[in-house]
Structure 1
Amino acid sequence: MNTYVKIRRDLHQIPELGFQEFKTQDYLLSYIQSLPQERIEIKKWKTGLFVKVYGMSPKKTIGYRTDIDGLPIEEQTGLPFSSTHNNQMHACGHDLHMSIALGVLTHFVHNEIHDDLLFIFQPAEEGPGGAEPMLKSEIMQQWKPDMIFALHIAPEYPVGTIALKDGLLFANTSELFIDLKGKGGHAAYPHQTNDMVIAACTLVNQFQTIVSRNVNPLDSAVITIGKITGGTVQNIIAEKARLEGTIRTLSPESMKKVKHRIKSIVKGIETGFECEAVIDYGSMYHQVYNDEHLTNDFINYLKQESTVQVIECREAMTGEDFGYMLDEIPGFMFWLGVDSPFGLHHAKLNPSEDAINVAVNIMTSYITHKGNEE
């Protein structure tokens, strides 16, 4: 079995949630410490890692970032190497991301280039967000790269396909939590209560008008309420209700407008239903915006030097906190085809492991090209 396939399967069995990646960090650290140490330096950051590989005559530092956390999903793949952690799964491909990063790191430990490299093993991408605090850390300020790259698996593309574009690739995203508190009571006496189930349902319906009536039709936005909880039993009118959802927009300006309208509509619900409401936006991720020069350089390099198929794709409403790093450091993220019938965040996601070598070969080749430039 290929070394990095084995690593992927090992990591697949131990998914951990954001800032709880203790086993994952230990596994990564053990592997990296097994490599020749003469030209590398390792620094821990919370449950993540920074690994610097020193070049022969560096003029710049090239960064490569991978995320390392899993999702709170009960795996349903039936694979012999399924998750051993209840209700936790690598359902977004971070196990592949890590094995690819280790493959690229290993190559450059054994094959020197001129420039320095910085490998970033980032926790908490799925929440509450590790990129922004990692970016602000003293280690990152000391070792801050001049350019930075990352990838994300794409189940909808076949293995051997790379998809990307310059400019906006991933949306601005924000979590959304709303707690409603009214007056509960007996189901037979609704006139003596303020029913928070009705208030919650009304709120969901009104939110749909934000996208259709408050966002520029030439722009894009999504408001999804994925979870509603309220009440206790069937014959008691609910005193409390909670809505949990997500907001996605293709511009920071639209995000501000959507949140302004949410605030106004919730205020109206408070008045109309004589209740109290609290809004919490939880984790917020900055858009992933690919540097034009570096992205097009990568696309041209792949078209000339590689056998992969390159697709210039459209932007997506997915979110990725790598956007915070790209906001300060020129670079790009791209989609890696993994040919899975089930999509991201699905309990049956089963990406093709053939994509690991494809990505390792592409990134070692391109980073060698960039790291030896005159």
Structure 2
Amino acid sequence: MNFVQIRRDLHRIPELGFQEFKTQEYLLSYLQSLPQERLQIKTWKTGIFARIIGKNPRKTIGYRTDMDGLPIVEGTNLPFSSEHPEQMHACGHDVHMSIALGVLTHFVFHPVDDHLLFLFQPAEEGPGGAEPMLQTDIMREWKPDMILALHIAPEYPVGSIAIKEGLLFANTSELFIDLKGKGGHAAYPHLTNDMVVAACSLVIQLQTIVARNVNPLDSAVVTIGKINGGTVQNIIAETARIEGTIRTLSVESMNEVKKRVEALVKGIEIGFECEARIDFGSMYRQVFNEAALTREFMEYVRSHTDMNVIECEKAMTGEDFGYMLEEIPGFMFWLGVDSKFGLHHAKLCPNEGAIDKAISFISKYIEFKGNQS
């Protein structure tokens, strides 16, 4: 099987969260082409559950991959660039899916004692597919006893993985703030309540939260990535919208940051005589790697594969796989793909040599776990 070609096929058809219809169709077509004697397939929204029946099952091992793309105009100029305008696999989920299919294919032909459950999860980039996927009847019936997942890492070389016990990724929350004042003619500002000015003032104030409200021994990030306001140059804006993200290393800090956001927005309402609405959108739990399983995985990879294992630091990235790790023991790791451009960049270009390497060493580890007495 050519899983690099599969990656390229998937790269052409990126789709946003819960819109992964072509992606699901492609994956199902491939899965249905495999021998079905031990393979059970069920769909949920745009996601897929695929279970391989074990030869002498005592437990179920789970493997999760995400499916969705990002609203980014691709800038790679690759011959297999996105065919969907303003959508791109700029976070590597095409690579993730091709690896998952490679591992699954291996075990269709070489089953282990235990059941294996492959989760093709939609909407990781938003609004979040992991939490509702966990709540399905399918998951309750086939729930794994342990679970693992990977995420590509452009900064690490091919042939390496990076991982640590405990906290790997941060708690994250979206942030949307809508302001409504009173618009009017640019020549008569005294008769208006300018929401562009209000939004600019609020953005500056939000940047004080981490500096002055978070314990300096803790870590938090408040980033504003988008502002919309106004219509033309000579009309004072009646509305404005601010969009951003909050990231913290503890749930307690997340709660405190949100309280401070609410207080600052209340001050803007009073000071600029406007109305404001806050939406914290989707919140993702921290990715916390179970210590014993993580240590065992690191030791196995070091001893039985040619992969280089790097003990990395925690990162402020977010991943809704954290919801799965709250309920199921397991871990996530970074997979080196050696790209000049980073995650969420229009020119992200993972080294495809990482795909077959990942399929090989993950299959070896799952074989070890799936036949473990």
TM-score normalised by structure 2 residue count: 0.99
Distance in structure 2 (CA, Å) of the matches to 1:171 and 1:102: 28
Query: Is it true that 1:228 corresponds to 2:227 in the alignment?
Result: yes
Q: Name the residue aligned to 1:349.
A: 348
Equivalent positions of 1:14-163 (< 5 A) are 14-163=13-162
Indicate the SS of the match to 1:268.
helix
Is the partner of 1:300 in helix, strand or coil?
A: helix
Structure 1 unpaired stretches of 5+: none
Q: What amino acid does structure 1 have at the position aligned with 2:52?
A: V
Alpha-carbon distance in 2 for matches of 1:266, 1:60:
50
Distance 2:245 2:141 in 1: 35
Q: Distance in 2 between matches of 1:28 and 1:188?
A: 58
CA–CA separation in structure 2 for the residues paired with 1:260 and 1:362: 45
Q: How big is each residue's C-alpha offset from its partner over 1:82-108, in whole Å with a ceiling of 9 and x where there is no partner? A: 111111111000000000000000000
1:263-316 CA distance string (max 9 Å, x none): 000001100111000001111111111000100110111111111111000111
How far off is 1:154 after superposition?
A: 0.3
- 1:322-359 superposed Cα distances (whole Å, 9 cap, x missing partner): 00000100000000000000000111000000000111
TM (normalized to structure 1)? 0.99
| Distance in 1 between residues matched to 2:108 and 2:36, nearest whole Å | 8
Indicate the SS of the match to 1:66. strand
SS of the aligned residue for 2:207 comes to helix
> Within 5 A, what are the aligned runs for 1:191-210?
191-210=190-209
CA distance in 1, matches of 2:24, 2:259: 40
| AA matched with 2:136 | S
User: Deviation of residue 254 (structure 1)?
Assistant: 0.5
- Aligned-pair identity in percent equals 73
Residue 179 of structure 2 aligns with which residue? 180
Residue 326 of structure 2 aligns to a residue whose secondary structure is: helix
CA distance in 2, matches of 1:372, 1:85: 43
Shift of 1:249: 0.6
Aligned to 1:262: 261
- Whole-angstrom distance in 2 between the partners of 1:194 and 1:37: 65
2:164 corresponding residue in structure 1: 165
Alignment gaps of 5+ in structure 2: none
**How far apart are the structure 2 equivalents of 1:113 and 1:181?**
60
Q: Whole-Å Cα distance in 1 between the matches of residues 339 and 60 of structure 2?
A: 34
Identify the residue that residue 324 of structure 1 maps to in structure 2: 323
The 2-side partners of 1:85 and 1:190 are apart by 43
1:202 is paired with a residue whose SS is: helix
Aligned partner letter, 1:66: T
Quote how far apart the aligned CAs of 1:366 are: 0.3
Q: Is 1:277 aligned to residue 276 of structure 2?
A: yes
The C-alpha deviation readout for 1:170-227, integer Å capped at 9, x for no partner, is 1111110000011111212212211111110110111111101111101111011111
Amino acid in the other structure paired with 2:235: I
Distance (Å, rounded) in 2 between the aligned partners of 1:309 and 1:163 = 8
Structure 1 Cα separation of the partners of residues 143 and 319 of structure 2? 20
